[in-house]
Structure 1
Amino acid sequence: MSDLNHVLETKTLSSPEDFEGFSRTFHEYKATNDLRLGTLEKGGKVDVLTTEKMQRLDTELDARKRAMDRLELKQARPALDGGVRQVSSPEHKNAFETYVRRGDESALRVIETKAHTIGSASDGGYLVPPELEREIGQRLAQISPIRNIASVRQVSGSVLKKPYSIKGPSVGWVSEAEIRPQTDGSKLAELQFPTMELYAMPAATSSLLDDGAVDVEQWISTEVETAFAEQEGKAFITGDGINKPRGFLTYDVVDESAWAWGKLGSLSTGVAGKFPVADASDVLLDTIYALKAGYRQNGKWVMNRKTQAEIRKLKDRDGNYLWTPPATPGTQASLLGFGLVEAEDMPDIADKATPIAFGDFARGYLVVDRTGVRVLRDPYSAKPYVLFYTTKRVGGGVQDFDAIKLLKFAA
């Protein structure tokens, strides 16, 4: 970890102070980039010190943004044992805590038997209380970039089957007294979204479990959220659909002019592995307007940190920067007026790569959560530690192929 990251992560600044620091850094970044561009326009060569300063400011902007995001996430953490939330099942909560701390599963067995839970054998673990399941779900929505902008649906089965119309029903105009001719029915096909098992395995010491002041539900939630979010984030983008969700970049990609259902449309920059030297903003505008108006109003950009660093340098024909920093603490940066979501699992800029996506992900991508998070206590495999094999089932895939467009860096 760099010294800058360490300083930013250990500061206890308030959100407004962090935001002011971010804004100052961006103004310095713009001034340095203006100097760089001015030198290039005059046919000069950018000196090494200016290049190094740009790289340092890029790193500082990213670090400050991550620090603000972590602060916002920490402040948004809801309490599990107080506040306005009321525990709907104190019996389940107490039984689960007894199981986690001492391994006594008798009370949980009774509860799951009463609920007619299938598959609750002792070697399969036990369902966490509903409050903890909601907590994990809320935290995943906050820190998993694609889940945060996609549609999320809970199911009780292993597969969600969603019909869609290949050809809508035939319609026509008739007068008030005219006979209505019979119309052709719509043709339906089906998308399937199976749920796959996602797991994390936090470890605890005996002293932690013996400490009555430790909220074990909060501890499990904190331990598994990052592991779940990292694995989900990667799968929703590049997952192959085998024992994991299918990522939107794994579907067939065709030129926008040849788009068809079941494929994602793409536009090209016109230059292999980079933006065009002149009028790079035109390429981004073409990507925006490749979306129909109904999708465009809720459009979001998705790219990784390195691609965003390249975007920050771009200006339009009037000399205005295309990338705009967050207007207030807790909000997103924007690109040409549309929110920008940073997803580190998006590919880097390279020849024929698609490192930038734009679309209405709420309509375009579906995340499917199967109800229930299960925990299996294992005190034997890693003595003297106790492992908690925590699993949830999740699936995902594109549900509307017209709602997401890709920008390919190709000639």
Structure 2
Amino acid sequence: MPNLQTLLDKRATAWNAAQEFQGRGDDKSLTAEDRTAWDAALADVERLSKEIETEERHARLAAVDYSKVIAPTGGEPGDSDEDRQANAEAAYRSAFTAFTRRGMNGLDNEQRQLLMANQAEVRAGATSPGSAGGYFIPTDTLARITETMKAYGGLLGAANIITTTSGNPLNWPTNDDTNNVGAILAENSQITEQDVTLGQKTLGAYTYTSKLVRLSLQLIQDDAFGVEGWLARKLGERIGRAVAAHLATGTGSSQPEGLFTNATAGKTGAAGQVTSVIYDDLVDLQHSIDPAYRATARWAMSDSALKVVRKLKDGEGRPLWEPSVQAGSPSMLLGSPILIDNGIPVPAASAKSIGFGDINAAYVVRQVSGGQLMRLDERYADYLQVGFFGFLRLDGKPDDGSAFRVYAHPAT
């Protein structure tokens, strides 16, 4: 793998090439060939910047003397990579817990180094790196936050999640080739052309914050219960509520675009069904998506909509809803699993309250790795309190629109 200096040299070369094209005039005066080369140079700068960021963080971690903060067990030269990784994670988790309880002044030099090596800059105005950064939440603590988010917002657990190390705009190509088919070719005949049409989507990284939690110094010092575990649950619940609403019905303007926001209606209820749905409507909705998606499709609705659905029966008087009888297995409706997310609209006039489809194909979430926690020691010192808040960066957008349809209630 290229060393850091090599990457820096390559980025400088790419940047100089981009600047050279820019110096020739505005992009309208450039030839198509020059414009392509300019775009390629800028793309190289962005790619190399990400690689440099990774290398720099690796160098910071490598500079930490783990032997002084890792427990002696499993620290011998013959240990496996898994053991060394486990020891490093245990050391960081211990340092993070100490930071939560006592702040930076309560850490020894090795613990402080370990935290600083896992600090990310919070870009706000002219804030410099290190002056207002959050420390990455340890893996097991972050998992508790993520699970809390999934428990409240099921869509996050079913969507296609792309994890990146930075929050730069993320572009990827899209294609709908379903209307194009092959053909029989007669002998000695020229083959017919059929180009592939590509589109493009872009994901950003909105910053979700838990808002501020203030704890008394006495509570933190006494720590009758695990304060870091309590914080993880509280911060996760707050962030989860905000994320769930946006992943379901976000406008796409200064927030993610929700899966239900502009989804195509596979079935619209008859007049009078402003808060209800019937058996035939669910069958029509289920068959409104192509069979290619139905093998991995599921229902998505709020708990209020599930309450309506659970009362439905087939022609033999049997409930359509099939409750789960095994831990970890979802309840079923017409042979497909049910996902509950209270960010999805409840049954109401003109609302899209029930969805069906392959959510993993239909919706993509870009999440910047590493939820972070910040501790404010000085701001509330005169109250003998310490402030905490967590934040997580992500964005979401519908991807394959053919994979998902919704049931829409009539206006009246």
Supply the distance in 2 between the matched residues of 1:335 and 1:181 (Cα, whole angstroms): 47
Distance 2:367 2:396 in 1: 9
Matched letter for residue 316 of structure 1: D
Matched, 1:155 2:153: no
Alpha-carbon distance between aligned partners in 2 of 1:406 and 1:307, rounded to the nearest angstrom: 13
Structure 2 match to 1:237: 248
1:369 deviates by 0.9
Tell me which amino acid in the other structure corresponds to 2:256: P
Aligned partner of 2:370 in structure 1 is: 372
Q: Is 1:270–1:276's contact at 8 Å kept on the other side of the alignment? A: no
Match of 1:122 among 131, 142, 146: 131
Contact 2:159 2:359 in 1 (8 A): yes
- The structure 2 residue matched to 1:247, chosen from 243, 246, 258, is 258
Q: Does 1:97 align with 2:107?
A: no
Structure 1 pair 250–276 and aligned structure 2 pair: CA distance change class (3 A): closer
Structure 1's unaligned 5+ residue stretches are: 1-83, 254-263
Worse-superposed segment, 387-396 or 320-329: 320-329
Moved more, 369-378 or 130-139: 130-139
| CA distance in structure 2 between the partners assigned to 1:320 and 1:404 by the alignment | 27
Q: 1:309 to 1:173 in 2, by over 3 A?
A: same
Distance 1:128 1:156 in 2: 14
> Structure 1 residues 219 and 312 mapped into 2: Cα distance closer, same or farther (>3 Å)?
closer
Please name the residue that 2:201 is paired with. Answer: 191
Structure 1: how far apart are the matches of 2:363 and 2:328? 24
User: Distance between the aligned counterparts of 1:284 and 1:274, measured in 2?
Assistant: 15
Aligned pairs (5 A) from 1:326-337: 326-337=324-335
Amino acid across the alignment from 2:219: L
- Find out whether 1:294 has 2:292 as its counterpart: yes
Q: Residue 402 of structure 2 aligns to a residue in which SS?
A: coil
Letter matched to residue 159 of structure 2: A
Find the counterpart in structure 1 of residue 322 from structure 2: 324
- Report how far residue 268 of structure 1 moved: 1.2
Aligned-partner SS, 1:355: strand
How far residue 223 of structure 1 moved from its aligned partner, in angstroms, is 2.3
The structural deviation recorded for 1:104 is: 1.2
**Aligned pair in 2 of structure 1 residues 351, 143: CA closer, same or farther (>3 Å)?**
closer
Paired residues for 1:42-121 under 5 Å: 86-104=86-104, 110-111=113-114, 120-121=129-130
CA gap of 1:88–1:109, structure 2 versus 1, over 3 A, is: closer
Change (3 A) 1:300 1:193: same
Distance 1:363 1:354 in 2: 19
- CA displacement 1:377-397 (0-9 Å, x = unmatched): 113444332111211101111
Cα deviation for residue 237 of structure 1 reads 0.8
Between the aligned partners of 2:171 and 2:314, the Cα distance in structure 1 is: 45
| Partner Cα separation in structure 2 for residue 281 and residue 134 of structure 1 | 39
Which residue is 2:32 aligned to?
none
2:380 corresponds to 1:406: no
Which one-letter code corresponds to 2:208 in the other structure? L
5+ residue gaps, structure 2: 1-82, 123-128
Aligned pair count reads 315
Equivalents in 2 of 1:328, 1:132: separation in Å? 27
TM-score (norm 1): 0.67
User: Structure 1 residues 107 and 182 mapped into 2: Cα distance closer, same or farther (>3 Å)?
Assistant: farther
Query: How far apart are 1:182 and its partner, in Å?
Result: 8.5
The one-letter amino acid of 1:140's match is: M
- Give 3-state SS (helix, strand or coil) of 1:316's partner: coil
Task: Please tell me whether the aligned partners of residues 207 and 394 of structure 2 are also in contact (alpha carbons under 8 angstroms).
Answer: yes
Task: For 2:100, give the aligned amino acid.
Answer: V
Shift of 1:303: 1.8
User: Deviation per CA, 1:143-172, whole angstroms, max 9, x where unpaired?
Assistant: 421112222120123232221125589866
Taking the aligned partners of 1:198 and 1:108, their CA distance within structure 2 comes to 28
Q: Distance in 2 between matches of 1:241 and 1:205?
A: 39
Deviation at 1:107, TM superposition (A): 5.5
Is the alpha carbon distance of 1:184 and 1:375 closer, same or farther for their aligned partners in structure 2, counting shifts above 3 Å? Answer: same
- Relative to structure 2, which stretch is displaced further, 366-375 or 347-356? 347-356
Q: For residue 192 of structure 1, what is the amino acid of its counterpart?
A: T
Give the % identical residues: 21
CA 1:357/1:115 → structure 2, altered by over 3 Å: closer, same or farther? closer
How far 1:230 sits from its partner (Å)?
1.4
Deviations 1:242-296 (A, max 9, x none): 3432212222x5xxxxxxxxxx24311222334889xx31111011011111211
Distance 1:212 1:343, change over 3 A: closer
Cα distance, 1:183 vs structure 2: 4.3
In structure 2, distance between residues paired with 1:308 and 1:170? 40
Counterpart amino acid of residue 323 in structure 2: P
For 1:344 and 1:115, the matched residues in 2 are separated by 34
